[in-house]
Amino acid sequence: MQSNSYPRKNHHSSRNHVIKLNTRSLFTATTVLAGALYVICALFVAILPQTTMAFFGYVSHLDLLKIAQPITWGAFFVGLIFFALGTGASAAFISYYYNRMASK
Protein backbone atom coordinates (compact mmCIF):
# COMPACT_ATOMS: atom_id res chain seq x y z
CA MET A 1 0.00 0.00 0.00
CA GLN A 2 1.37 3.39 -0.96
CA SER A 3 0.94 6.52 1.10
CA ASN A 4 -0.29 9.68 -0.60
CA SER A 5 1.20 11.96 2.04
CA TYR A 6 3.85 14.50 1.24
CA PRO A 7 7.34 13.03 1.56
CA ARG A 8 9.13 14.61 4.52
CA LYS A 9 12.62 13.86 3.36
CA ASN A 10 14.78 17.02 3.63
CA HIS A 11 11.68 19.05 4.41
CA HIS A 12 13.17 20.76 7.48
CA SER A 13 16.56 21.41 5.94
CA SER A 14 15.07 23.81 3.40
CA ARG A 15 13.82 26.18 6.10
CA ASN A 16 15.90 29.03 7.39
CA HIS A 17 15.92 28.53 11.16
CA VAL A 18 16.94 31.54 13.20
CA ILE A 19 17.75 31.15 16.85
CA LYS A 20 16.40 34.14 18.71
CA LEU A 21 17.85 35.48 21.91
CA ASN A 22 15.76 35.77 25.05
CA THR A 23 16.18 39.48 25.73
CA ARG A 24 15.03 39.35 29.37
CA SER A 25 17.33 36.45 30.23
CA LEU A 26 20.30 38.11 28.55
CA PHE A 27 19.56 41.37 30.40
CA THR A 28 19.38 39.56 33.75
CA ALA A 29 22.49 37.45 33.23
CA THR A 30 24.54 40.39 31.97
CA THR A 31 23.38 42.65 34.80
CA VAL A 32 24.29 40.07 37.46
CA LEU A 33 27.70 39.36 35.88
CA ALA A 34 28.52 43.07 35.46
CA GLY A 35 27.51 43.70 39.07
CA ALA A 36 29.74 40.88 40.30
CA LEU A 37 32.68 42.17 38.25
CA TYR A 38 32.11 45.68 39.61
CA VAL A 39 32.17 44.39 43.20
CA ILE A 40 35.38 42.45 42.54
CA CYS A 41 37.00 45.49 40.96
CA ALA A 42 35.93 47.71 43.87
CA LEU A 43 37.39 45.23 46.33
CA PHE A 44 40.73 45.31 44.54
CA VAL A 45 40.68 49.12 44.51
CA ALA A 46 39.86 49.18 48.25
CA ILE A 47 42.50 46.60 49.22
CA LEU A 48 45.31 47.39 46.76
CA PRO A 49 44.57 50.83 45.27
CA GLN A 50 48.03 51.59 43.86
CA THR A 51 48.49 48.17 42.29
CA THR A 52 44.98 48.09 40.85
CA MET A 53 45.26 51.57 39.37
CA ALA A 54 48.67 50.74 37.91
CA PHE A 55 47.30 47.53 36.35
CA PHE A 56 44.27 49.23 34.77
CA GLY A 57 46.53 52.09 33.72
CA TYR A 58 48.61 49.62 31.71
CA VAL A 59 45.45 48.14 30.18
CA SER A 60 43.99 51.52 29.21
CA HIS A 61 47.31 53.30 28.45
CA LEU A 62 46.49 56.02 31.00
CA ASP A 63 48.03 57.22 34.23
CA LEU A 64 45.11 56.43 36.51
CA LEU A 65 47.11 57.13 39.66
CA LYS A 66 46.67 60.88 39.03
CA ILE A 67 42.88 60.71 38.66
CA ALA A 68 41.99 58.02 41.21
CA GLN A 69 39.28 58.87 43.73
CA PRO A 70 38.61 57.21 47.06
CA ILE A 71 35.62 54.86 47.08
CA THR A 72 32.82 55.89 49.42
CA TRP A 73 29.77 53.72 50.11
CA GLY A 74 27.59 56.13 48.15
CA ALA A 75 29.90 56.13 45.16
CA PHE A 76 30.14 52.34 45.33
CA PHE A 77 26.38 51.78 45.24
CA VAL A 78 25.70 54.41 42.58
CA GLY A 79 28.50 53.01 40.41
CA LEU A 80 27.27 49.45 40.96
CA ILE A 81 23.71 50.27 39.96
CA PHE A 82 24.59 52.32 36.90
CA PHE A 83 27.36 50.03 35.68
CA ALA A 84 25.34 46.83 36.11
CA LEU A 85 22.07 48.21 34.72
CA GLY A 86 23.84 50.05 31.91
CA THR A 87 25.68 46.93 30.84
CA GLY A 88 22.50 44.85 31.10
CA ALA A 89 20.53 47.42 29.11
CA SER A 90 23.23 47.42 26.42
CA ALA A 91 23.00 43.63 26.14
CA ALA A 92 19.18 43.80 25.97
CA PHE A 93 19.41 46.46 23.25
CA ILE A 94 21.76 44.29 21.21
CA SER A 95 19.51 41.25 21.74
CA TYR A 96 16.37 43.13 20.70
CA TYR A 97 17.91 44.43 17.49
CA TYR A 98 19.59 41.11 16.73
CA ASN A 99 16.20 39.37 16.95
CA ARG A 100 14.59 42.00 14.69
CA MET A 101 17.34 41.78 12.08
CA ALA A 102 17.61 37.99 12.18
CA SER A 103 13.91 37.49 11.49
CA LYS A 104 13.99 39.53 8.27
pLDDT higher than threshold 60 for residue 99: yes
49 contacts 68 by C-beta, under 8 angstroms: yes
Structure confidence by residue, pLDDT tens digits, 1-25: 555 555 555 555 555 678 999 999 9
Quote the percentage of the chain above a pLDDT of 70: 85
Nearest partner of 43 among 79, 94, 10, 12, judged by Cα: 79
The percentage of residues in the chain with a pLDDT greater than 90, rounded to a whole number, is: 68
- Classify residue 33 by burial, with Cβ atoms within 10 Å: 0-12, 13-18, 19+: middle
